[in-house]
Amino acid sequence: MKLGESEYAKQKLSGISRRDFLKYCSMVAVGMGLPLSAGAEIAQAITTVKRPPVIWLSFQECTGCVESLLRANHPTLEHLILDLISLDYSETLSAAAGHQAEAAKTASIAENKGKFILVVDGAVPTRDNGIYCKIAGKTALQILHETAPHAAAIVAMGSCASWGGVAAAAPNPTEAKGIPEILTGKTVVTIPGCPPSPYNLLSTLLHFVTYGKLPALDTLGRPKFAYGRLIHENCERRPHFDAGRFAVQFGDEMHRIGACLFKLGCKGPETHANCPSLQFGDVGAGAWPVGTGHPCFGCTEKNVGFSTPLHTLANIKDFTPPTFFTEAFPNKQGLPTGLASFAAGTAGVVAGAAGAALLTGLGKNSKNSGDGTNSDSGDRDHGKEE
C-alpha cells in the first residue's frame, strides 16, 4: 500500500485532499521546530495501521486539560482518537464506565507493555498514603506506580501534573505533588498551563509517534518548541513595555488602548510559554489572557502561578531594555510622549553625518532637557515607575 493510502481515502471522503493532508503534516512539523521535510515523516507515522495506544489518567484536577483537548480543531478530537491514536482509557472520554473501563485499562497495559503513552493530568496527593484521591478502590498514588513502569513515554498534562499547580498551593493539606516529583529517575514530559494549549500535547505525541523519541526538553522537562521563549518576547503589548507605557488600573486610558500590563502584575517577563503565538480556542486574534486585557499569572512556571500574588510585579528575566525605544502609537493620537518620541524624532538625524554629534550632545544634556525625553529617567526603570 502506498504512503497513507487508506488515510488519504478517509481524508478525501471528509473533503480534505492528499495535498492538504500533507500541508497539515508540514505545518505540524514547523510548529515543533522541525523542517518542512519532516511533514512526510509525520504523515507516514500517523497513517500506519497500528495506532499508538494512549492511557490518560486523571487525579487532582478540574478536567480543564481534557476540556482544552476537546476544543482542538487540527486535528479534531474525533479524528485524533479514532484515526491517529487509540485512546484506551480516559475517565472523561471513555465510552465504557465503571468495571468495564477499568478492565479496558488493565487489558491495554497488559497487551502494550513498553509501547503505550501515559498521559496524566492532575496532581497526586501523598499525605496519609494518598487516601485523598481514590479511583475504583485504589489511590492515585497506587495507580500511578502500577501504570508508569510499563509506559513507553510519560506526559504530565497541565500545571497540576507538572509541578502540583493549584492542588499544591499553600497550605497544600493533601501534600499534593507533580508527577516528576513522584516518578523520580524517570523522564516525564511536562506540559504546564492552566490549561495548556492542546497543540503542545498533540505535537509532543506526534513527535514520539513519528521518531520513536521525545522532542528536545528543557531542564524542567518542558518541550523546547513550546516553552523555549518567554511570553514577554512575543507579546503584542511588548512595544508598550519598551516605550514605558503601562496600564496602572483596569479600565484606565492606557488599559483601554492596549498598553502593557506589567504594572498590573503581568508575569509574562518571567514565564516561558507560547501562548501569544499559539493562543487558545482557534477563534482568532487576542484569544489568550493578555490579549483579553488580563495579566498573565505565570501558570506554566513553578513558584509563580498559584504561588505569587496576582498583582505582584514580575521578576524580569533575561531582558535588557534598549537604549532607545520605538513608537507603539503615532503621536497624533495624543498619547504620552517620552523616549519613544525622542527615538522617532532623532531617527532621521542619525542617518546624517551630524547625527552622531547631535546624539552625543543630547546624551550629555539629557538630565537638564526638561522636555520629557530624558533617556536616564524612570521610563527605563519599569519596575519603579508609578
Q: Considering the entire predicted model, what is its pTM?
A: 0.72
Q: Is the pLDDT of residue 314 over 60?
A: yes
Which helix (H) or strand (E) segment holds residue 156: the answer is strand 153-157
Backbone angles phi, psi at 377, to 5 degrees: -80, 180
Q: Give the Cα separation of 245 and 334 in Å (integer).
A: 13
Confidence of residue 364 (pLDDT cuts 50, 70, 90): very low
Task: Report whether pLDDT(360) > 50.
Answer: no
What are the pLDDT digits (tens) for 337-353? 443 333 333 333 333 33
Residue 258 grid cell: 492596549
For residue range 96-106, list pLDDT tens digits in order. Answer: 888 999 999 99
State the chain's mean pLDDT as an integer: 79
At 78, the pLDDT band (50, 70, 90 cuts) reads confident
Say which residues have a Cβ less than 8 Å from residue 111's Cβ, sequence separation at least 6: none
**pLDDT given at position 97:** 86
Dist CA 116 CA 129 (whole Å) = 27
Of the candidate ranges 40-44, 177-181, 199-203, 372-376, the one whose mean pLDDT is the lowest: 372-376
Which residue segments constitute the domains of the chain, with CATH numbers given?
A: 1-49 (no CATH), 50-227 (3.40.50.700), 230-319 (4.10.480.10), 324-380 (no CATH)
Mean pLDDT across the stretch 291-300?
Answer: 95
* Residue 50 confidence (pLDDT): 66
Return the residue matching grid coordinates 490549561: 195
- Residue ranges of E strands in the chain: 53-58, 86-90, 117-121, 124-125, 134-135, 138-139, 153-157, 176-177, 188-191
If we measure between CA atoms, which residue out of 241, 329, 235, 335 comes closest to residue 289? 235
Q: Which of 142-151, 194-203, 351-360 has the lowest mean pLDDT?
A: 351-360
Bridge partner list, 58: 121
Does residue 99 or residue 27 have the better pLDDT?
99
